[in-house]
Each structure stands twice: as structure tokens, then as C-alpha cells.
Amino acid sequence: MTTINYKSTRQEGHNVSAATAILTGIAPDGGLYVPTRIPKIDKTFSELAALNYRQLAVYLLSLYLTDFTEAEITKAVDCAYDDKFRTPQIAQLETKNNTHFLELFHGPTLAFKDMALALLPYLLKTAAQKTGQKKEIVILTATSGDTGKAALEGFAGVEGTKIIVFFPEHGVSRVQKRQMVTQRGKNTYVIGIEGNFDDAQNGVKAIFTDPVLRQKLAENGYMFSSANSINIGRLLPQIVYYVWAYLELLRRGCIKTGEKINFCVPTGNFGNILAAYYAEQMGLPVGKLICASNKNKVLFDFFTTKIYDRKREFFVTSSPSMDILISSNLERLLYHAAGENSEQVRAWMEDLKTKGSYEIPAETAAALKSFAAGFATEAETKASIREVFEASGYLIDTHTAVAYSVLQKYQKETLDGAPAVVVATASPYKFSKDVLCALEEKFAQVDDFALFKEMEKISQVEIPAPIRDLKERPVLHRQVCRPEEMPQVVSEILGL
Ligand SMILES: *Cc1c(COP(=O)(O)O)cnc(C)c1O
């Protein structure tokens, strides 16, 4: 097997091993790590169809983590995908109302972030061992709600690590916030930001690339890493479930080998759908990757006009994990689409930072032809929740509903009848208020936690164990700060 290294999207000639890329999270020049080559799937689909989720994960990850042994990958995968997932299949495909829903929310925090964040701590620890890295790893994370809890859950109590999470104080659901501020574990720190997700993410990126802070950190025996999807170790595990979904459709006889399928992905930071792009580049038969946005439709505008423009009003919506104006992982896609031209990517990112926008040329846009894009308004999102529930008794969350709505519109407009999978990224319990209000306005008056019982009755799906006693759990984290105070807060926590 040929070695795959990782290089920055913003500079040539700086290649590192997978272990180093995962450990450091972001390249020193502020670019994101991408594989020097995207490996091809080299087994037949009938061979792959015989594998369970864990075996498939080991196979696909081995193609990318060429500096890890198979035993190391197997151990990490077995620790990650164990009985903290409430379905033995890990991911679950449900067909309702003539649509396939790929449920990725059966992990400990009820959102798809668990699919990668259950594994990342093990990949990081292995990477530290392999590279002889003895420093304590400080995981710095900005969250729009779901990453934070999934990362806290993944890293709580993991020896040799501390985890610091910044979340928008007024930009997450009550359940999301409660999940985070009740987090146990001596190595966990949770801080609200008086700002939105982009402020939190920019703050974290700035801390990462601050040479003075880095120096102080090193002197004190610490190093930073990231649990955000800027870390390639977050992205790679997400490729697995796209391949798994394809195999599941094959196993159920819904498609023939080689038949192309579409995926519709509710998108924020562009990490999830980028993993689908990697799966396609590896040889998965994909027709269209449909990028679904909510009212913050910066990506829809980008795919339809070739102009990425973050200078616009920011909306807080019922799908908060998609309330993002700077989709970090688009940088990786642009790098590949622009023929791996790092100078060009650096210029675009500089424009985004200084002018607030950039425009890609026609030939780059042409390389994005496997993407389609759509968006759903708040009213359309609600209507989708209602429509699916009334047709099939199946309750979807607000993010999944955005994707469902976008898929319906896409199919109507294009008459593309290829089998389509909606990526279901969160349990409806996580957004109980907005989901139930989509069915009946009367729930607006009811306490979010009291709604769990209502939802259980209505959906006939048991309240998931990890949130059953959420309301009773003590609040352990109360700190709030302004975005510009983030470096200071980090310094205080670490005693720098
Ligand atoms: C994070 C998240 C998204 C967006 O995923 P990206 O990888 O950031 O595009 C969508 N839905 C839910 C529930 C999420 O937690």
C-alpha cells in the first residue's frame, strides 16, 4: 500500500503523516490538511457488503491512515463503536414516505457528530504514541451545539487531554445547552460566548495560529488540537457511513451494484457533505450530492452564483447546527476543484477574511458538477416535519427536515429519480420544542424537558437513555465571555 500523507490547502511542500495531521488539527499556515492522494476503494461491493460497520470502518480508515497499523485502527474502532451506540448497526437506514433516511444519531449525544467524535480521542491518543508526543493535548472546540457535547463526551476522562468548548450562549437549543453545561469530567471546560458560531470558530482558529500563545503552551507542556471538522481525523470516519448506506441499499435489494444514488445532506460547516465527496472520489457510485441549507443560505448562493459572500444578515433558526456563514470545509473542496492550487485557495481565503467574499472562475465551478444545492425556509422546514409525520408517523428533527424539504424541491425541479438518501443528523428529541411545534402550536408553551414525554407518546420512540434525566442533572459550567476574551480564558484555564 502506498503511503498517504497530508498537506495544507494553503501552501505547497509541507507534508506530514496522518498522525501529525490529526494531532495538530490545522496546518501552521492556517490551511486545512488534505490527503496527498484520495485512495480508491479496492474491494468489490459484494466483498464490502459482507462487512459489518466496524469492519468497514477499519478497511476504509486503513486506506487513509497508512502510518497506523491495522491493529491500531481496529482497536480504536472497537473502542469507539461499542454499546454506547443504541443500535448494533451503528448507523441505521430507515425507509419512510418513499425516502431513505440515514439515521446517524444513535450515539451518546444524539447527533451525527458522535460518528466521528466517538473515534477521534482514540485516533489522537494513538497518534500521540506513534509520534512520541508527550505533551498534554488541549482540545479547543467551537460548537454550534452538537460538536461541543459530542467532543466533551468523547474526551471526558481521557487521560492526557483537556477539552475546552466555546458555544454561542444564545444560539443553541435548550437541550443542547443543558447537555453541555451538565458535562462531568475534571478535564472538561464549557464556556458560553456572547456571539454566534462564526465568532467562536474564528476565535478558536486565531488561538490556534497565535505564535506567542503556542510558544507559552509548549513551555507549559501542552499542545493544542481540534475536535472541529477542520481536523482531518473528524472527516475520515464520516466517509464510512456513506459507503455503509450504499451497501445497505444493495443488501436490501433497493439498488443494483454500480447504480448511482444521491445524498441530500443538511449542511453547516460543510464537513459531513465533504465526507460524501471523498466517498465519491474513492469510487462510490454517487449521482448528486445535494447541499441543503437553512435560511442562512450562503452555500446555496455560492453554488448558484460562484460567489461566496459572508456579508449578510445572520439568522438564528430552528436548525441551529446549520447557522453558519463561514463553512470551513468548503476550503478543502475548493482545493480539490481548483486542481490543488494552494496559492489560489490562499488568495480566496484572504479575500474572505478581508473583503468578506470571493468568486471562483468557471473552470473551478465546473469541477463541482456533482453538487446541487437548495435551501429551506423556516416554514418549509416545519411543513416537512408535519408532512413526513402525517404520511408515516415518523418524526424527523429540524436539520433532517431541511434536507428532506430540499430533496423534495430538487426532485420536483430536476425530475432526477435516482434513489436518494436523506442524511438524518439529529434525533428529534434534541430539538423537541421546534419539532413538536411544527405539529401543533400548543407545545410552544410547554417546557422543553416536559416535551420529552409528549414526544415519546407521539412518535412511539422511547426517550433515548442519555437524555432521560437531563433536567435533574446539576449545572457544572456557568462561565460566559466575549469573543475577544477567548485567548485570556484559555490562558487562565491552563495557568499560562
Ligand atoms: C453539525 C450538524 C450539521 C451540519 O454538519 P456540517 O458537517 O457542519 O455541515 C447538521 N445537522 C446537525 C444535527 C449537526 O449537528
Which residue of the set 7, 96, 113, 295 is catalytic? 113
Contacts (Cβ under 8 Å, ≥6 apart) of 310: 198, 298, 325, 326, 352, 356, 357
Give residue 295's domain range: 92-111+233-466
Distance 266 CA to ligand 1 centre (A): 7
| Strand 307-309 with 357-359, pairing | antiparallel
**Inside any domain, residue 339:** yes
pLDDT at 214: 86
**Inside any domain, residue 278:** yes
Supply the residue whose CA is at minimum distance from atom 15 of ligand 1. 146
Burial (CB count within 10 angstroms: exposed 0-12, middle 13-18, buried 19+), residue 215: exposed
Pocket probe mutation, ligand 1, options 296, 321, 430, max atoms within 8 Å of Cβ: 321
Say if residues 405 and 440 touch (Cβ distance below 8 Å). no
Ligand 1 pocket residues where CB is under 6 Å = 111, 113, 146, 229, 266-272, 321-322, 399, 425-426
**Inside any domain, residue 249:** yes
**Inside any domain, residue 272:** yes
- CATH number of the domain at 378, please: 3.40.50.1100
pLDDT at 456: 97
Burial (CB count within 10 angstroms: exposed 0-12, middle 13-18, buried 19+), residue 355: exposed
pLDDT digits (tens, 9 = 90+) for 14-71: 899 999 999 988 898 989 999 999 999 999 999 999 999 999 999 999 999 999 999 9
pLDDT digits (tens, 9 = 90+) for 393-444: 999 999 999 999 999 999 999 999 999 999 999 999 999 999 999 999 999 9
**Inside any domain, residue 218:** no
Residue 10: closest CA among 38, 32, 37, 36: 32
**Inside any domain, residue 289:** yes
Rounded to 10 deg, the angle between the 330-337 and 342-354 helix axes is 140
**Inside any domain, residue 107:** yes
Q: For residues 386 and 360, what is the distance between their CA atoms, to the nearest angstrom?
A: 38
- Give the predicted TM-score (pTM) of the model: 0.95
Residues in the chain with pLDDT values less than 70: 1
Residue 294: closest CA among 327, 261, 333: 327
pLDDT at 171: 87
pLDDT at 28: 87
pLDDT digits (tens, 9 = 90+) for 142-177: 998 889 999 999 999 988 999 999 999 998 888 899
Distance 436 CA to ligand 1 centre (A): 20
pLDDT at 388: 97
Distance 267 CA to ligand 1 centre (A): 6
Q: State the total domains in the chain.
A: 1
Distance 221 CA to ligand 1 centre (A): 33
Supply the residue whose CA is at minimum distance from atom 8 of ligand 1. 269
Supply the residue whose CA is at minimum distance from atom 2 of ligand 1. 321
**Inside any domain, residue 182:** no
Supply the residue whose CA is at minimum distance from atom 14 of ligand 1. 321
Distance 271 CA to ligand 1 centre (A): 8
Say if residues 261 and 286 touch (Cβ distance below 8 Å). yes
pLDDT at 1: 66
113 is catalytic: yes
